[in-house]
Amino acid sequence: MKKFLSLTLAMALMIFFTACGSSAQNSENKTSAQSTSSAPNTENKTTAESADAAKKSLVVFFSRTGEEYRVGNITKGNTHIVADFIAENVGAKTFEIKPVNPYPDNYNECTELAKREQQEKARPSIANKIDNFDDYDVIYLGYPNWWSDMPMIIYTFLESYNFNGKTIIPFCTSSSEYFIGKEEIQQYAKGATVLDGLGIQGKRCQDDPASVKRDVDNWLKKING
């Protein structure tokens, strides 16, 4: 009788532990399945964020110092000031387009030369170049407004690189807040997407840079979301 009871108890315990083990295994499998199911969403989100972060931007600009209209002599160009504000906001590097033959410091002499270059459709030579240009996806391109057009050296720049697949975001400085250049850039930077640009009064860059920075930040927020 005792042997029968012992055998019965042993069988009961075996059934109990087998059931517990099966339950634990099912629970583990369920937890594993849930983890596996939720993992792709997190991974996809991280991948998308990484892709956005991987886009590299460069702020390219041509700017002039010397005698400036309604301001006097300046040591940092108006377009240069705007370019630095953009670079600070988007976390990008800057590249200054430097002519082989610098433009005159005298304002009248510079405007006369700029007019002559425009009439001749000149392509002034650039002294420096961007070695890793292909690494950049977004190009912020800045220049002064000379005779209601971009300086001819900007055309030299546009004809010197392959812009296919890149995004160009232009900005310019002038005697007013008027922006020019989008259509011309689209024509010469084949294959690029050109966004709406920003026009800034050059005098404000020297007299009230804080207001210029505010306008730049608002513009970037609008175009970059």
Q: How far apart are CA 84 and CA 212, in angstroms?
A: 11
For residues 218 and 140, give the distance between their C-alpha atoms in angstroms, rounded to a whole number: 15
Q: Which residues contact 159 (CB under 8 A, 6 or more apart)?
A: 123, 188
- Distance CA(57)–CA(167), nearest Å, equals 9
pLDDT the model gives residue 224 = 85
Quick one: pLDDT at residue 62? Answer: 98
Residue 7's SS3 state is helix
pLDDT of residue 7: 41
- Residue 179 and residue 161: Cα distance in Å, rounded? 23
pLDDT at 93: 97
To the nearest 10 degrees (0 to 180), the angle between helices 209-224 and 78-90 is: 50
CA distances from 57 to 68, 133, 156 (A): 30, 10, 21
Are 66 and 91 in contact by the 8 Å Cβ rule? The answer is no
CB-based contacts of 130-134 (< 8 A; 24+ apart in sequence):
130/58, 130/60, 130/95, 130/161, 133/161, 133/162, 134/162
* Per-residue CA distances from 140 to 5, 33, 156 (Å): 88, 47, 16
User: Of 74, 75, 96, whose CA–CA distance to 84 is shortest?
Assistant: 96
Structure tokens at 30: 């369920």
- Taking Cα atoms as reference points, which of 222, 223, 216 lies closest to residue 89? 216
| pLDDT at res. 6 | 45
β-partners of residue 58 are 93, 139
Confidence at residue 14, expressed as pLDDT on a 0 to 100 scale: 45
Tens digit of each residue's pLDDT, the chain (225 residues): 444 434 444 444 444 444 444 444 444 444 444 444 444 454 444 444 444 456 799 999 999 999 998 889 999 999 999 999 999 999 999 999 999 999 999 999 999 999 999 999 999 999 999 999 999 999 999 999 999 999 999 999 999 999 999 999 999 999 888 999 999 999 999 999 999 999 999 999 999 999 999 999 999 999 987
